[in-house]
Chain A
Amino acid sequence: MDYGLLSSILHAILVASTPLVFAGLGALIQERSGVLNLGIEGLMIVGALAGFATALSGFPLLISVIAAALAGALLASIFALLVLRLYANPVATGLALTLFGLGLSALAGAQYVGQAAPQVEAWNIPILSHFPIVGHAFFSHDPLVYLSITLAILMWWFITKSRAGLILRAIGENHSAAHALGFSVIGIRFLAIITGGALAGIGGSYLTLVQTPLFVEGMTAGRGWIALALVVFASWRPLRVIVGAYLFGSVSIIQLHGQAVGISVASQWLSMLPYIVTIGVLVIIAGRGNISHKAPGSLGVTFKESK
């Protein structure tokens, strides 16, 4: 086994998975509050453009990422307004959001096609990054990779340990009961939606700032949908989103390497693998019949304040 190659493959898996981690977390926090947002793809691409455009104007990575988050949050607030205040159907509104985001980014982004963003420097973690294999694979990444993992842990803490997280979950599980207890269902869901939008926006910007790194319209190429699938796969748990994203990334990257070493199967079969593996793992997890895999009770149900 070529250890250098192994290390590179692991490195590539982390990079390919990171947009999915961000977007998956973004979908997760919304769903935990009981909001099903199918517009992740639209939020991602708008974030992708905002981050890219900011970086092109010479701003540092941090500012670009913030811009991406703001763009995602802004677009998500349209969704929030429609779904929370105007009681529009969330499934259809999410789909419309995707359409709108793809169009908007294409329209505003046409001027940026053909330009290249500055390269993002890797942060080599002291000592750890010098270890053989794992050093390059795990500890020599751009800051956003570390950020994605940190955010997942933070979100895990927030949802399971903090009081605010408890309220969020209560609202997601049974909004009428939470409302009766005096919590602002609408207010908290609004916060969850714009946070989710910001995270999806950052996920998109990872594509344009690090992974590819360029902007072309429609370049999210379905990743927003994968992120949605990941949340279910992760049974609404932040840390499992990481596992799911890395698993998905692994299968995608390993099939490319398999081809490069000359394994010849029709490439479409290989491209199917991530999807089939996801279904397989889902069956295994669900087959255990653990109640904790259930979706939030009020997921996708419109909340109407009644007097």
Chain B
Amino acid sequence: MIFVEARSEIHWYHEWIAVFVALSLTVVTASVLLAAIGLEPFSSLQRVFIRPLNSVYGVSELIAKATPLITIGVALALGFRAGVWNIGAEGQLVMGGLCGGAVALAFWGIDGFWVMPLVLLGGSLGGLLWGAIPAFLKVRFNTNEILVSLMLTYVAILLLSVMVHGPLRDPDGFNFPESRLLHEAATLPKLFSVGRGHIGFIFAIFFALIGTWIVKRWHLGFEMRVTGLSLKASKFAGYSRGRTVWMTLLIGGAVSGFAGVVEVTGNIGQLVPNISPSYGFTAIIVAFLARLHPIAVIPAGLLVALSYLAGEAAQLTLRIPAASTQVFQGLLLFFLLGTSLLVNFRVRFGRAV
């Protein structure tokens, strides 16, 4: 028989063992599946997972894809630690992109070092506003933030749609639903000469470090963790639940909004009806894969981003339909989540004690 029992002590390498087991399981399962459909497993996996990274271009694109996931993942990890369930980061991202994009378009054609900061500020404020609504309703009326932030996501996406179909439409664009292309002063600088990896990645790393610092050092980190763990304990310690809700949702909103405007100014270069392939939702997975450690969000974000790139490579080189890469992504996540058991528990073979 197989038994699990709680570890008395948890060491850092236990997390690595868990990740290693998960990745091994994924590789084995993928190999079996690939062999079953008549593909040579090793070279197939190599083509799908390694080759996309085999150039500066590939790494640059990986970074571009991971940037919003890491940025939002950090903010969500903080919020989830405090037990504030902001499921609507997607909406906050969209509002950030919309507001930041609108600022950029308002100053279209105007050069100046101040344009870019203003655009980023606009985006962050847009996200902040969208995060403030569930915070306000939660604190004032005790509404559930999962529901409100989720509903607001749909509203934000439709709002973006109204804007790019109407007021923000490119005046020379034959009435197609797209804004003008943003000008140079409102475009984030690239990190490499090729690909789209941009300076937003540096911000994402920066956020992860700040997040780690908040969690470990700052008063707020402790306060958030305590209110997340137990309402009673936090009341006892004199912490205000309301303040935690405000802080986490405002931070979550502003950072997600920042991710949105970074996506628009760094990656897309204009406002379009859909600026995010569900980054806000995927970032939730990323945050949990990182086990809510802000710094671990970086590798988790890169890994999830790679799984998207690999999905495209699989379609291109292995001729596997998009749906099967989705299934595969699901499996990978199942393994990663399932093996988190190994961190806190010890698997023992033998008889029950």
Contact = CB atoms under 8 A, between A and B. Distances in A.
A and B touch in the complex (CB under 8 A): yes
A83 to B, nearest CB: 9
A107 interface: yes
B292 to A, nearest CB: 9
Nearest to A287: B141
A289 B142 contact: yes
The 5 closest A-B pairs by CB, nearest first: A100-B330, A103-B326, A92-B288, A106-B323, A96-B333
A304 B152 contact: no
B338 to A, nearest CB: 4
Contacts of B321: 106-107, 110
B281 interface: yes
Contact of B154 (A228, A275, A283, A307): A275
B146 interface: yes
Nearest to B160: A268
B5 to A, nearest CB: 8
A92 B142 contact: no
Given A95-B281, A95-B282, 6 more contacts: A103-B329, A217-B323, A228-B146, A268-B158, A278-B151, A283-B141
B106 interface: no
A279 interface: yes
A279 B152 contact: yes
Contact of A282 (B143, B155, B322): B143
18 contacts: A86-B338, A88-B338, A88-B340, A92-B284, A92-B287, A93-B333, A95-B333, A100-B329, A106-B321, A106-B322, A106-B323, A107-B321, A107-B327, A110-B323, A225-B150, A269-B158, A272-B154, A275-B151
Nearest to A42: B330
A104 B284 contact: no
Contacts of A96: 285, 330, 333-334, 337
Contacts of B337: 82, 86, 88-89, 92-93, 96
A103 B327 contact: yes
Interface residues of B, number: 51
A295 interface: yes
A184 interface: no
B331 interface: yes
A162 B2 CA distance: 36
A268 B323 contact: no
Interface centre among B85, B142, B339 (most CB of A within 10 A): B142
Contacts of A95: 281-282, 284-285, 333
For the residues of B in contact with A, the DSSP-based class is helix
Contacts of B137: 279, 282-283, 286
Interface in A256-290: 266, 268-269, 271-272, 275-276, 278-279, 282-283, 286-287, 289
A228 B87 CA distance: 12
A157 interface: no
Nearest to A270: B158
A87 B334 contact: no
A95 B150 CA distance: 14
Given A89-B288, A266-B162, A104 B327 contact: yes
A206 B324 CA distance: 25
Given A107-B323, A275-B154, A268 B143 contact: no
A306 interface: yes
B318 interface: no
Contacts of A62: none
B155 A276 contact: yes
Interface of B: 5-6, 80, 85, 87, 137, 141-144, 146-148, 150-152, 154-155, 158-159, 161-162, 165-166, 281-282, 284-285, 287-289, 321-331, 333-334, 337-341, 344-345
Interface residues of A, number: 49
Interface centre among A87, A228, A278 (most CB of B within 10 A): A87
A190 interface: no
A100 B345 contact: no
Contacts of A287: 141
Contacts of B282: 95
Given A86-B341, A282-B144, A306 B6 contact: yes
A38 B80 CA distance: 15
A286 B285 contact: no
Contacts of B284: 91-92, 95
Given A78-B334, A272-B159, A103 B340 contact: no
B223 to A, nearest CB: 20
B165 A266 contact: yes
B235 to A, nearest CB: 16
Contact of A269 (B85, B162, B281): B162
Contacts of A278: 147, 151
Contacts of B5: 307
Contacts of A104: 323, 327, 330
A38 B338 CA distance: 16
Interface centre among B5, B152, B284, B333 (most CB of A within 10 A): B333
Nearest to B329: A99
Nearest to B353: A307
Interface in A218-237: 222, 225, 228-229, 232-233
Contacts of B141: 283, 286-287
A97 interface: yes
B246 to A, nearest CB: 17
Nearest to B292: A89
Nearest to B290: A92
A86 B342 CA distance: 9
